[in-house]
Amino acid sequence: MSDHHPTGFTRWLYTTNHKDIGSMYLWFSFIMFLIGGAMAMVIRAELYQPGLQFVDPNFFNQMTTMHGLIMVFGAVMPSMVGLANWLIPMMIGAPDMALPRMNNWSFWILPFAFTLLLSSLFMEGGAPNFGWTFYAPLSTTFGPPSTDFFILGVHMMGISSIMGAINVIVTVFNMRAPGMTLMKMPLFVWTWLITAFLLIMVMPVLAGTVTMMLTDRHFGTSFFDAAGGGDPVMFQHIFWFFGHPEVYIMILPAFGVVSEIIPTFSRKKLFGYSSMVYATASIALLSFIVWAHHMFAVGMPVAGELFFMIATMLIAVPTGVKVFNWVATMWQGALTFETPMLFSIAFVILFTIGGFSGVMLAMAPVDFQYHDTYFVVAHFHYVLFPGAIFGTTAAVYYWLPKWAGKMYNETAGKIHFWLSMIFVNLTFFPMHFSGLAGMPRRIPDYNMMFADFNMWASIGAFGLGLTQVYFLVIVLLTLKNGKTAEQKQWEGASGLEWDAMPSPAPYHTFSTPPKID
């Protein structure tokens, strides 16, 4: 195959090329990140001071809901799929993803799904306003008309994710270059393989949940209605059976990313490769039996609460193994602190803090005090922003030279990092305090006693938002007039993508498989 690019807009519409599709995923997710972030700005502006200043409570709820949905399904998940598309074939020595046409379809469904979801903002009755967890019956009998478009939008995202996951699994199982045994694969590939498995197991369950919602809303069924013999709590069980593995879907690929970056800048091999693989698999398996830790207050039988509490706490063990392995990788390495490394280090520290608050939440008797307060909001932003988002950001800085053949400006990257680091903590750390002081989540107005924390969080949030716009500028400037990158931009890097191809990576790589020993 020659290295010719198709041109024009059909290059993007009709493409079967994993690199093009990867780029589209990444750009799409960044746009969604800005939109979801802009909604967070609305939330934070309203919460800057007590009193209702900018929006009415119903619109506030719509913002919360759409912010959560867009960040989770529009920003984080597609960004991870984008990375998978770009990197997996290059890392395992494959010419492309296993099912390239389907790959294109997986991507192109997304912009349409989110058009549908976002259009609900302009519908009569407004956008979904029942939280990203859309608990019944608030979302069924009491949901606005746009709920149905939300449901269908979720179906579309689900189809896209499932196809994407199938593609990843098949590529990894069937397309590895000769000699690339499973236990030689870069850890990023491993984490994505396991993520894809989680996706296939839980996205259909989400589809089932929203289907039951749809029939409850319009066809007279009573899945979530006690009057007909159903149970609103059953909604939560089915939702969280999806929802909890979903949070690991968002974090496992980021684990993979930092597991590539930390060894590079430590100039030392990853510590405990095989235990990393097993730990990731354990996290994934455990994630299926912990879902009800989101539901300690719903009145489950005590035996259930005990089971879910203990199973949840167990997840700290394999996650700890990963954290310790990263630390051991840095230990006695020859460290340098380029931007990707800085983001990875911040990832390890801040994710761990988020994990600690997770363990606190897992303790059922105390969770009665934390549940549905800003303490939970603090927890999940710590694992999501400095977790998933920092992970992706690190990946972009790390592989941008390979993708684009251009090197970003290191000073600009470092400024981006330090601003992000400061503002992310300023935004989300005070939320621990407002939560402990008793501030419930999803409220547009609050008592004076929470005012200070909220003010700091809002100031941090505006700074964080602007910082991310700055990131966009950095990337655009790099693409426009960055310095030419070397084939192996990072001294300590290893792996096929650095060793076996120039920068930028040619349009088609590994048309003939590389030799691996």
Partner 1 sequence: MAIRRKLIAGIASLLSIVLSGVVQAATDMNMRPGVTETSNAAYDLHMMVIWVMVAISVVVFGAMIYSFIFHRKSKNYKPATFHHSTKVEMIWTAIPIIILIYLTIPAVKLLIKMEDASNSEMSIQVTGSQWKWHYKYLEHDVEFFSELDRSLTITDENYLLEVDNALVVPVETKVRFLVTASDVIHSWWVPDLAVKKDAIPGFINETWTAIPADQAGKTFRGQCTELCGKDHGFMPVVVKVLSKEDFKAWVAQKDQERLAAEKAAAEAAAQSWDMDKLMAMGKEVYDSKCAQCHQASGLGIPPAFPALKGSPIALGPVDAHINIVVNGKSGTGMAAYGPQLTDAELAAVITYERNAWENNTGDKVQPADIQAFKAGN
Partner 2 sequence: MSTETEEKYENYYVPEQSPWPIVGAVALFFIAWGGGNFIHQSTEIVETGDQSWGGLVFLAALAVMIYMVFRWWKDTIKESVEGLYSAQMDRSFKQGMLWFIMSEVMFFAAFFGALLYVRQLVIPWLGGEGNNAMTHALLHPDFLPQWPLTKTPDGTTTQAMGAWGLPAINTAILLTSSWTLTIAHHALKDNNRQALLNYTSITALLGIIFLALQVLEYHHAYNEMGLTLGSGIYGSTFFLLTGFHGFHVTIGTIFLIVLSIRCAKGHFTEKHHFAYEAGAWYWHFVDVVWLFLFIFVYLM
Angle between helix 316-330 and 302-314 (nearest 10): 10
Q: Is 222 in the site for partner 2 (CB under 8 A)?
A: yes
Catalytic residue among 244, 371, 379, 381: 244
Tally of CB atoms within 10 A around 117 = 24
Site for ligand HEA in 458-487 (CB under 6 A): 461, 464-466, 468-469
Catalytic annotation on 403? Answer: no
Residues 12-71 within binding reach of partner 2 (CB under 8 A): 13-16
Does residue 39 belong to the site contacting ligand HEA (CB under 6 A)?
A: no
Span 126-165, contacts to ligand HEA by CB under 6 A: 131-133
**Bond prior to 137 in cis (omega within 30° of 0):** yes
**Cα separation, 132 vs 510, whole angstroms:** 42
Per the annotation, the verdict on 79 as an active-site residue is no
Q: How far is the CB of 395 from Cu ion (least distance, A)?
A: 24
To partner 2, the closest distance from the beta carbon of 154 in angstroms equals: 10
Residues 6+ apart with CB under 8 A from 195: 80, 165, 168, 248, 249, 252, 253, 284
**Whether 267 contacts 338, CB under 8 Å:** no
Residue 449 CA neighbour count, 13 Å, CB half: 8
Single out the residue of 113, 127, 330, 404 in contact with partner 1 (rule: CB under 8 A): 330
Return the residues of window 156-185 that contact partner 2 according to CB under 8 A: 156, 159, 162, 165-167, 169-170, 173-175, 177-179
Based on CB atoms, which residue is closest to Cu ion, 67 or 244?
Answer: 244
Binding window for Cu ion (CB under 5 A); candidates: 76-84, 109-117, 244-252, 462-470: 244-252
Which one of the listed residues 25, 48, 86, 248 is annotated catalytic? 248
- Least Cβ distance, residue 97 to Cu ion (angstroms): 30
User: How many other C-beta atoms lie within 10 A of the C-beta of residue 122?
Assistant: 9
C-beta of residue 384 within 8 angstroms of C-beta of residue 250: yes
Which among ligand HEA, partner 1, partner 2, none contacts residue 486 (Cβ within 5 to 8 A by kind)? none
Smaller CB separation from Cu ion, 81 or 290: 290
Under rule CB under 8 A, residue 227 binds partner 1: yes
> Does 366 interact with partner 1 (rule: CB under 8 A)?
yes
Of 161, 171, 287, 312, the catalytic one is: 161
- The structure tokens listed for 8 are 């024009």
Burial of 488 per CB tally in 10 Å (0-12, 13-18, 19+)? middle
- Specify which residues 484 forms β-bridges with: 406
Single out the segment in contact with partner 1 by CB under 8 A; choices: 80-88, 154-162, 243-251, 361-369.
361-369
Residues 271-290 that bind partner 1 (CB under 8 A): 271-275
Identify whether 259 is a catalytic site residue: yes
DSSP secondary structure letters along 184-221: GS-HHHHHHHHHHHHHHHHHHHHHHHHHHHHHHHHS--
Rounded CA gap, 398 and 260, in Å? 9
What is the rounded distance in angstroms from the CA atom of residue 77 to the CA atom of residue 293? 23
| List of residues 6+ apart from 445 with CB closer than 8 A | 50, 51, 52, 57
Q: Which does 305 bind (CB under 5 to 8 A by kind): Cu ion, partner 1, partner 2, none?
A: partner 1
Q: How near is the Cβ of 310 to Cu ion at its closest, in Å?
A: 14
Residues 378 and 429: beta-carbon distance below 8 Å: yes
Which among partner 1, partner 2, Cu ion, none contacts residue 13 (Cβ within 5 to 8 A by kind)? Answer: partner 2
Tokens of 247: 């949070």
148 binds partner 2 per the rule CB under 8 A = yes
Cα 484 from Cα 400, distance rounded (Å)? 11
Known catalytic membership, residue 133: no
> Do the beta carbons of residue 276 and residue 329 sit within 8 Å?
no
CB count in 10 Å sphere of residue 146: 23
Which residue number, 194 or 396, has a Cβ lying nearer to Cu ion?
194
In whole angstroms, how close is the CB of 361 to Cu ion at the nearest point? 9
441 carries an active-site annotation: yes
* 118 contact choice in partner 2, Cu ion, ligand HEA, none (CB below 5 to 8 Å, kind-dependent): none
Question: Should residue 244 be labelled a site residue for Cu ion when binding is judged by CB under 5 A?
Answer: yes
**Residues with catalytic function:** 67, 96, 132, 160-161, 244, 246, 248, 259, 293-294, 319, 322, 441
